[in-house]
């Protein structure tokens, strides 16, 4: 029998989400590009911006995915509340190949090496209003997760992201764990211990 881990959502703010990417909110027209704007990595292919229709995305998950070649942006097309499970990027590059992670590293079918996320690494964020999340390259994510039956989302990635750059970790298969979002309780941000 799988263990259920209940996750209390954290409100997505620029500070609370900083380890995983950026929270982008509305800004006045005419402002110059700066750190408040999405810092995108789209140079490894053809960008694809589209509206994604999702249905039946309940507030639980056991699989989490990352994209090694692109940042990804997700946001509700209507500003309605949604949730996203995340874990820090764990792609191994250059000097990160050391004795500690050589034992646990996996080579993705996409070609890169990574360390799988641990159940304790997973957080869930609640996103409200007209903001979107920019996921750093390699950030593990599950969702969007919805309380509603269906929602539409803006999605910016590469045209072939889901074909050639889609690595998934199955917590149920590998760790005997399923995550459940406790939607009635939202945490104020507290820094996570290392």
Superfamily classification of domain 3-26+38-181: Ureidoglycolate hydrolase (2.60.120.480)
- With b for 16 or more beta-carbon neighbours within 10 A and e for fewer, the 22-55 pattern comes to bbbeeeeeeeeeeeeeeeeebeeeeeeeeeeebe
User: The tokens of 73 are what?
Assistant: 């942006």
What is the rounded CA–CA span in Å between residue 96 and residue 71?
Answer: 20
Residue-wise pLDDT tens digits, 116-167? 999 999 999 999 999 999 999 999 999 999 999 999 999 999 999 999 999 9
Q: How far apart are the first and last CA of the chain?
A: 30
Residue-wise pLDDT tens digits, 71-96? 999 999 999 999 999 999 999 986 55
């Amino acid at each position: 029998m799988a263990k259920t881990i209940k996750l209390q959502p954290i409100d997505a703010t620029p500070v609370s989400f900083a380890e995983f990417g950026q929270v982008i909110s509305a800004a006045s027209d005419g402002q110059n590009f700066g750190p408040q704007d999405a810092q995108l990595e789209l140079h490894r292919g053809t960008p694809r911006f589209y509206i994604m229709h999702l249905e039946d995305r309940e507030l639980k998950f056991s699989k989490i995915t990352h994209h090694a070649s692109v940042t990804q942006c997700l946001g509700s097309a209507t500003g309605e509340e949604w949730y996203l499970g995340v874990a820090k990027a764990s792609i191994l590059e250059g000097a990160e190949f050391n004795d500690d992670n050589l034992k646990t590293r996996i080579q993705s079918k996409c070609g890169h090496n990574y360390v799988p996320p641990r159940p304790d690494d997973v957080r869930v964020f609640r996103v409200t209003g007209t903001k979107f999340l920019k996921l750093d390259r390699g950030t593990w994510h599950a969702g969007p997760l919805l309380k509603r039956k269906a929602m539409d989302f803006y999605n910016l990635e590469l045209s072939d992201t889901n074909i050639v750059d889609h690595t998934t970790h199955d917590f149920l298969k590998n760790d005997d764990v399923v995550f459940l979002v406790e939607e009635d309780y939202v945490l104020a941000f507290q820094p996570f211990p290392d």
